[in-house]
Amino acid sequence: MEQDGGAPQVPLWDANGSTVAMVDNGSGKVVSSYAYDPFGKPSYGGSYITAYQYLGMEND
């Protein structure tokens, strides 16, 4: 679980372990979504960026 200004955010993963969305733990609403090209380059939708994305690896 990660924090964004005090609000807990919960990651949702696909079968490969890549983060596909971040959900607000209180409301259950998706606050950010992620998609990846075949080489793992992310594209974002939303306001929250997590450090753990493609295949669950931490971004620099």
Residues 14-35 pLDDT 10s = 998 899 999 988 888 998 999 9
Q: Distance between the two ends of the chain, CA-based, in angstroms?
A: 19
Q: What DSSP state is assigned to residue 52?
A: B
- Position 2 scores a pLDDT of 54
- CA torsion sign for 17, 20, 10, 53 is positive
Burial of 54 (0-12, 13-18, 19+ CB in 10 A): middle
- Which pTM value belongs to this model? 0.72
